[in-house]
Amino acid sequence: MKERILTAIVLLAVVVGVLFFDPTGWGVRVLAVSALVAASVELARLIKSQPIAFSIFTSILTGLFGFTIFQDVSPLLISIGCFLLLIRKEEQNVIRPALGASLLLSGMSIAFLKLSLAKSGAFPLILTAAIPIWAGDTAAIFAGKAFGKHKLAPSISPNKTWEGSIANLLAAVGAAAALGYFLKYPMDKMLLLGVSCGVLGQVGDLFESYLKRQAGVKDSGNLLPGHGGVFDRLDSLLMTAPFSYWILSSFLK
Give the mean pLDDT of 72-96. 56
Q: What is the pLDDT of residue 77?
A: 58
Q: What is the pLDDT of residue 186?
A: 94
Q: Position 179: which residue type?
A: L
Q: Position 106: which residue type?
A: S
Contact criterion met (CB below 8 Å) for 35 and 14: no
Q: Does the pLDDT of residue 73 top 80, yes or no?
A: no
Sign of the torsion angle spanned by Cα atoms 184, 165, 13, 2 = positive
Among 130, 208, 206, 213, smallest CA distance to 162 is for: 206
Quote the CA–CA distance of 185 and 180 in Å, as a whole number.
5
CA–chain centroid gap for 47, Å, is 17
Quote the CA–CA distance of 27 and 32 in Å, as a whole number.
8
Contact criterion met (CB below 8 Å) for 160 and 137: no
Q: Does the pLDDT of residue 64 top 70, yes or no?
A: no
Within a 13 Å sphere around the CA of 155, how many CA atoms are in the beta-carbon half? 1
Mean pLDDT of the chain: 78
Give the mean pLDDT of 106-111. 63
Q: Does the pLDDT of residue 133 top 60, yes or no?
A: yes
Q: Which tens digits make up the pLDDT trace of 205-240?
A: 888 888 888 788 888 888 888 778 888 888 888 888
| Count of Cβ atoms closer than 10 Å to residue 178 Cβ | 15
DSSP result, 88-140: HHS-GGGHHHHHHHHHHHHHHHHHHHHHHH-EETTEEHHHHHHHHHHHHHHHH
Highest mean predicted confidence (pLDDT) among 62-76, 83-97, 171-185, 203-217: 171-185
Q: Which tens digits make up the pLDDT trace of 137-190?
A: 989 988 988 887 888 888 888 888 999 999 999 999 999 999 999 999 999 999
Q: Position 215: which residue type?
A: A
Quote the CA–CA distance of 56 and 105 in Å, as a whole number.
14
Q: What is the pTM of this model?
A: 0.79
Q: What is the pLDDT of residue 103?
A: 55
| Count of Cβ atoms closer than 10 Å to residue 183 Cβ | 13
The length of the chain is 253
Q: What is the pLDDT of residue 1?
A: 64
Under 8 Å CB-to-CB from 92, ≥6 apart: which residues? Answer: none
Q: Which tens digits make up the pLDDT trace of 26-50?
A: 888 788 777 877 777 787 777 766 6
| Count of Cβ atoms closer than 10 Å to residue 226 Cβ | 13
Sign of the torsion angle spanned by Cα atoms 233, 235, 240, 244 = positive
Highest mean predicted confidence (pLDDT) among 63-72, 88-97, 111-120, 195-204: 195-204
Contact criterion met (CB below 8 Å) for 109 and 65: no
Q: What is the pLDDT of residue 28?
A: 80
Q: What is the pLDDT of residue 32?
A: 77
